[in-house]
Structure 1
Amino acid sequence: MQVLYDVLLPGPWWHPLTYSGNGKDFPEKGCRVRVPIGRTERTGIVTDAREVKGEVCDKQQFSCRSILYAVDEAPAVTEEILQTLFLAGKHFLCGPGELLKSAFPSPFFDGKEAPNAPRMSPEETRTYSVTFIRDAKDSDRFRSYLEILGKDDHGGFVIFPERNRAALFWENLPDKLKERAILWPAGNGKRAWESWIRVLKGQRNIVIGSMGCLFAPLTCIRNVIVEDEGNPVYYSRRYPYIHARSVLTYRARYWKAKLVLGGAMPSSRSFLFRKEKCTARTGGRLIFADKSEAREFEVRGVRRPLPVTDAVLTRTQEAAAGHGVVMWLLDRIGYASGIWCRECESILTCPKCGTATRWETRESTAVCPFCGNRGKLPEECPNCGGAFMEGIKPGIEASVDLAANLLGNKALVHEWHKAVTKEKSSRNKMLKKLEVSGGIVTGTRKALELCDDIPVALVCWLDIDTELLKPSYDVKYRAFRMIWESLWRGMEPENRKVILQTKKTGTAWQKKLGKGWHEFWESELAERKELDLPPWKFLVEINTKSRIKNEMLSILESEGFECLDPDPKSGLFWVRTEKTETLRKAVEPFFSVSRSKEGFPRMRVCID
């Protein structure tokens, strides 16, 4: 008697690989096994086992390599997590094997000893439910989350788009809840493995974290809370491209748990599911400043000036005089976005990937915003040898000197964006200075996270129009939620004013800021329905080699899929579909083991 095992391995294949065993050391479903693959060995997870007669393999003329040995005597992975891996891999068109790399701490696949996974099933008497908490103020929503967690002694998740927010929520837990809770660490190494063990043993049954905790081995889950559920951050930035809310929805459904979708503004999908009127109003806290009337401040070495309106200048001085905290925000990192030659008008591009670079004042560096390559800013044009290289548009660093001159003290001006070194000590020092003396924080939208730590009197968006120029179908939503977050996030939002510098005051989406997000979504969803965009249909981005792209396009178009090919020379194209399952069946042949040498396409499913 021979036993065939389906083994799920970290890799690009959409299905487990089959291995044989003698059945003596019978590894169960959920056990780790060591198997050969190619010329190497890997650790995988058994997902199925079946007995076959010895001659079956001979008649079907295929051979199976044998499992080398079983790592576990009993399952180390629960049935529910295996099911979630397959569901997420299926829906997001990446395969469960790709998810293994991020779902488990790295020591798991190094063969480290793990506790036995509990064999538990959901209670038959329970039913899955969805609750929406859409209070504008963070403090009101968080209070509701604590009430939900406090009513149940069983397991639960609370997930945030940013780990800093998760840590703040954990720090403010009542002692009784904190005894049961764990703040999931960043990264995928030793600390994550230690947390994994504690949760698997049942020592902690409330997991608080961000994207890294989606597959924490909780059992008997009763509550799954997704804070700021419409935040685009929940789309994973690296492959495999999944959505955190969807993964936790699968887990909540399995355990018949209560799924709580929270946030100051709902996503398109949840608003479509449960339409409600927004009760929050800006109450005169939102100010539009016409950029055509702005003063234009010259920036040394940059082609275009930095426009700043009198509304920003005057209100900044007033707030700073009262030791208030002011934010000047511009979503352009660096001293200037774009570097060009005044003589031949060529733009300086990255030598590695060809993307236009930005200028950072630190060490006069040219930085690629796409691949991260850094190089010294050239004194001469690489194209014509000209000596007149300059920036194109001022970035956020260019506003620092202007802010310092306005306040008459550079010590009162701080920077906070992803290019700033993020040591916790430097952040704490900055917050202490702001608490005592106030001042200006110049930065990108990332600076809004400081609202969680200190009251902010004024937020000034220096160029809101830039947000609407980004090539994305949901660009209006991203701009709207960014301003909505500026109005309501963090401490004492009711005392905060927000100024938007724009060339187009009074546009439709701007007017809806004063009326509430339900007004925005009603019109936005109507537009998207006409264009068959999410959430009405899934929009799938496919990126592959040009030759494979042409082959895929031919098959998909012949099967009736609507394909969008904006650049025939690139390997990128888009597909609209009502169900990802139908698209999956059409492209599945491109993910077979036999095509490993050709490489596999990468797909991103847009759901909101």
Structure 2
Amino acid sequence: MTDSHQKSLFADEVPWEAADQSDRWSAEIVFDLPVDQSFHYLVPDALREQLQAGQRVRVPFGQGNRRIVGFCVATGPPPSLSKRMKWVEAIVDLAPLVTPGMLQLTRWIGEHYLCSWGTVLHAVVPAGVKKNAGTRMARVYFLGDSDRLAADVASLTKKQEAVLDVIKNAKQPPTQGQILEAVGCGPSPVKTLERRKLIASKLVRTSTSRYDSPVAAQVTDLELNQDQKDAVTAICQVLESRKHETILLHGVTGSGKTEVYIQAIREVISYGRQAIVLVPEISLTPQTIRRFRSRFDTVAVLHSHLSDAERHWHWQQIAAGRVSVVVGARSAVFAPTPHLGLIVIDEEHETSFKQETTPRYHAREVARQRCELEQVPLVLGSATPTLESWQRVQDGEDQLVSMPRRVVGLPLPPVVLVDIRNDPRIGKGAAIGRALDHAIRQAIEDDGQVILFLNLRGFSPVFWCRACGESVTCPNCDVTLTWHRDKAAAMCHSCEYTCDPPSQCPACGDAGIRHVGVGTQRLEAEVKARYPEWNCLRMDSDSMRGRGSHDEALEKFRSGEVQILLGTQMIAKGLDFPNVTLVGVIAADTMLHQPDMRASERTFQLIAQVAGRTGRSERGGRVLVQTAMPAEPSIQFAAKHDYIGFTTQELSQRRAIRVPPYRRLARVIVRGPVEPDVVAQITAMAAVLRDHSQRLGIDNDVMILGPAPAPLTRLKTFYRYHLQISAETPEAIRTLWRNALPDFLDAKDIEFTIDVDPLNMR
């Protein structure tokens, strides 16, 4: 259902009572619906003292008065409107789930990313928190009327006195069971004291389990080199100023950025404040987690593998101020820290910080806004910062701190580009060419270890017909099927469609179907066949599904049990193994073939990051990059470790074609099961947007690009078309969209969404 269709359904949902409202109280409610407005409900007197902003309420909604749950975002006297108001029926939560500051932040997200406030609130509060996972209701006791207690103390029995002592000395209000166990009595003394109002009780929600973090052996801080000291000093100066500033920490791989984060966080904790550290999900390795837990006593780790009960328990501990450091992926930016002092985003260039479903926020921009609201520093760390972050430094909006040298003076590893176009082994279908084969043997014979990087999983990424030249695609998507030999199946990596491998071409019926290309499974098979005397381990999303599988795999590599580690992006960053003396990039140019303006930037980042996995000890190391496009500038600059040279050239090209970071972009995607209907809908939307840009007088600034078929035109049985809105400022895009939205026509079975500052252009 589209935004406009939902809006027309509920446009009359704000009825009000015409009678005297001087003694009435109302609540402003937002819902998890694509409706860009809030609604007001009267609050019964019995709930007036209990209801606070940040709690959820159950209310009647719509013409049929169906009951739904929404977030209360404000309370106060009702506005003066004419129609009959509806009433809040119940409060769902005992206490607010979000603070006033988080309400302010989520409202900004809704406005900036053009989605409803209620949808944002629903997304940022974890499901386990909303359903109180791992908790139960319990009655707790505390001291009652102090005057009555002083007057009646002489008439108490010994057991009643003991009950009072337990309650008085407890750190937290105890339950009846805890009191009875401590005193060794039945419930009668408790009931008598409560009846005489010497004690009182209330219902609270308590955890049924504890999920304490594993205790790690504490280690002392490392000695910093001069670059690291300068970086920590810069961060601490902003901390002491109690003002917000964003610091871009540009440090080459192995320069010791994590140690800078740790020592800056130690300073934050000394002020009695908390820190949030965001890392890409793939970097939430046991190695990273252990490093923080070995330095700080109370560390909460938030990641996708937590159960609802675990996530709820950690959320409560963070909100109570019992956690000093929160380490997590994208959504940890919403951790309910009451005393926030610093946010750090490591590997800030990672695309996983952008949410790909509504609300389509970028954690970096949300962190920037949160830090500005709370007047604390934001530190962005990367060896290959995004061009957007780099341009902000050039414009003087953010502060740059450089760490151009590796710790203890180790040099960056030399990178050798290997042109595989004339390599006979590659021509026969092998993944490892002659030069890389020789380098692997030499590295391991010298007691080193090897990392091989390939960003394609499966055995072969293409089924190809020799007769007609067609590839075999998914019946639901415009995606070629990938051969997974371990499952004896052909799979679509977009919709998870699975079938038996085709024995003949669906297009021409010929039986000459071949598996073309190399994925991580095929690379693993080749490595095991070519080097049977050495142990090999594959790390990708297919092989690392089990709980603890990452930790087990990396420990085998660390201990030397495994000599060759191969895999996808999960091994490209964040790993520190001093014995790795060779990194091989199997196919450096796979990303360059994508229809994406950021293809060159991502290619440079990947090569630079994976190259940083070697040369981290006095043993040194080197990198071999296999490519069929050795003259490509992004590959050339990566081989030279020349970030400045790459950004200078790339920014010049971006400026010439007027794309980010010099323009702001929003992408509108329309999808539906019938292609002509999708085309008609997006064509009409483009016309409405162009018409409104002229009416608003912003047509000289705003450009409507398209519509056109999306690069991935068919996905999960839906046809997809898109258009782009380009403007100098995000305000222009927001103004145009909000004005045009009511005029979009409804179309049956057609859905549309808008992605502000998109990263995924497929």
TM category, shorter: 0.7 to 0.9
Match of 1:302 in 2: none
Match of 2:633 among 508, 518, 542: 508
**What is the root-mean-square deviation of aligned Cα atoms in Å?**
3.2
Q: What is the distance in 1 between the residues matched to 2:690 and 2:744?
A: 24
Match of 1:120 in 2: none
Match of 2:415 in 1: 286
Larger mean Cα displacement after TM superposition, 570-579 or 425-434 = 425-434
Match of 1:11 in 2: 33
Return closer, same or farther for 1:404/1:179 CA change in 2, 3 Å cut-off. Answer: closer
Match of 2:67 among 18, 41, 45: 41
Match of 1:579 in 2: 729
Match of 2:332 in 1: 213
Q: What is the distance in 1 between the residues matched to 2:123 and 2:93?
A: 21
Match of 2:11 in 1: none
Return closer, same or farther for 1:511/1:199 CA change in 2, 3 Å cut-off. Answer: same
Match of 1:529 among 641, 655, 664: 655
- Residue identity opposite 1:262 in structure 2: G
Aligned residues: 590
Task: Give the drift of 1:517.
Answer: 0.8
Q: Is the 8 A contact 1:327 1:440 kept in 2?
A: yes
Render the CA deviation track for 1:449-472: whole Å, top value 9, x for unaligned: 583467422111122122211111
Task: Give the drift of 1:475.
Answer: 0.8
Return closer, same or farther for 1:581/1:166 CA change in 2, 3 Å cut-off. Answer: farther
Match of 1:555 in 2: 688
SS in 1 for 2:292: coil
Match of 1:254 among 361, 369, 373: 373
- Residue identity opposite 1:110 in structure 2: K
Q: What is the distance in 2 between the residues matched to 1:85 and 1:294?
A: 55
Match of 1:243 in 2: 362
Larger mean Cα displacement after TM superposition, 215-224 or 185-194 = 185-194
Larger mean Cα displacement after TM superposition, 370-379 or 587-596 = 587-596
TM-score (normalised: structure 2): 0.71
Q: 2:757 aligned with 1:606, yes or no? A: yes
Task: Give the drift of 1:128.
Answer: 1.1
Q: 2:85 aligned with 1:98, yes or no? A: no
Q: How does 1:440-479 map to 2 (within 5 A)?
A: 440-449=564-573, 451-452=575-576, 455-479=579-603
Render the CA deviation track for 1:8-40: whole Å, top value 9, x for unaligned: 222322333333334552223222211233464
Match of 1:590 in 2: 741
Return closer, same or farther for 1:19/1:586 CA change in 2, 3 Å cut-off. Answer: farther
Q: How does 1:100-179 map to 2 (within 5 A)?
A: 100-110=121-131, 126-138=242-254, 140-152=256-268, 153-162=272-281, 164-165=283-284, 167-173=286-292, 178-179=296-297
Match of 2:302 in 1: 184
Q: What is the distance in 2 between the residues matched to 1:387 and 1:163?
A: 40
Q: Is the 8 A contact 2:255 2:405 kept in 1?
A: no
Q: What is the distance in 2 between the residues matched to 1:138 and 1:37?
A: 56
Q: Is the 8 A contact 1:468 1:476 kept in 2?
A: yes
Return closer, same or farther for 1:401/1:146 CA change in 2, 3 Å cut-off. Answer: closer
Q: Is the 8 A contact 2:664 2:729 kept in 1?
A: yes
Q: What is the distance in 1 between the residues matched to 2:532 and 2:113?
A: 53
- Residue identity opposite 1:532 in structure 2: R
Q: What is the distance in 2 between the residues matched to 1:515 and 1:447?
A: 19
Q: 2:553 aligned with 1:420, yes or no? A: no
Q: What is the distance in 2 between the residues matched to 1:220 and 1:450?
A: 28
Q: How does 1:307-346 map to 2 (within 5 A)?
A: 308-346=432-470
SS in 2 for 1:366: strand
Q: 2:199 aligned with 1:66, yes or no? A: no
Task: Give the drift of 1:308.
Answer: 3.7
Return closer, same or farther for 1:446/1:284 CA change in 2, 3 Å cut-off. Answer: closer
Structure 1, unaligned runs of 5 or more: 117-122, 300-304
Q: Which structure is higher in RCO with an 8 Å CA cutoff and minimum separation 6?
A: 1
- Residue identity opposite 1:525 in structure 2: L
- Residue identity opposite 2:660 in structure 1: P
Return closer, same or farther for 1:320/1:586 CA change in 2, 3 Å cut-off. Answer: same
Match of 1:84 in 2: 105
Q: Give the structure with higher Rg (CA).
A: 2
Task: Give the drift of 1:433.
Answer: 4.3
SS in 2 for 1:563: strand
Q: What is the distance in 1 between the residues matched to 2:33 and 2:245?
A: 34
Q: Is the 8 A contact 2:52 2:96 kept in 1?
A: yes
Render the CA deviation track for 1:254-300: whole Å, top value 9, x for unaligned: 1100111112222212211225677359656101111123123577x
Q: What is the distance in 2 between the residues matched to 1:10 and 1:593?
A: 21
SS in 2 for 1:83: helix
Q: What is the distance in 1 between the residues matched to 2:507 and 2:421?
A: 35
- Residue identity opposite 2:350 in structure 1: N
Match of 1:355 in 2: 479
Q: What is the distance in 1 between the residues matched to 2:241 and 2:540?
A: 49
Return closer, same or farther for 1:597/1:194 CA change in 2, 3 Å cut-off. Answer: farther
Q: How does 1:343-422 map to 2 (within 5 A)?
A: 343-409=467-533, 412-422=535-545
Task: Give the drift of 1:437.
Answer: 4.5
SS in 2 for 1:172: helix
TM-score (normalised: structure 1): 0.88
Using the aligned pairs only, state the percent identity: 20
Q: What is the distance in 1 between the residues matched to 2:563 and 2:257?
A: 29
Return closer, same or farther for 1:162/1:73 CA change in 2, 3 Å cut-off. Answer: closer
Structure 2, unaligned runs of 5 or more: 1-20, 138-203, 207-238, 395-399, 672-677, 694-698, 710-718
Q: What is the distance in 2 between the residues matched to 1:442 and 1:34?
A: 52
Q: What is the distance in 2 between the residues matched to 1:591 and 1:427?
A: 49
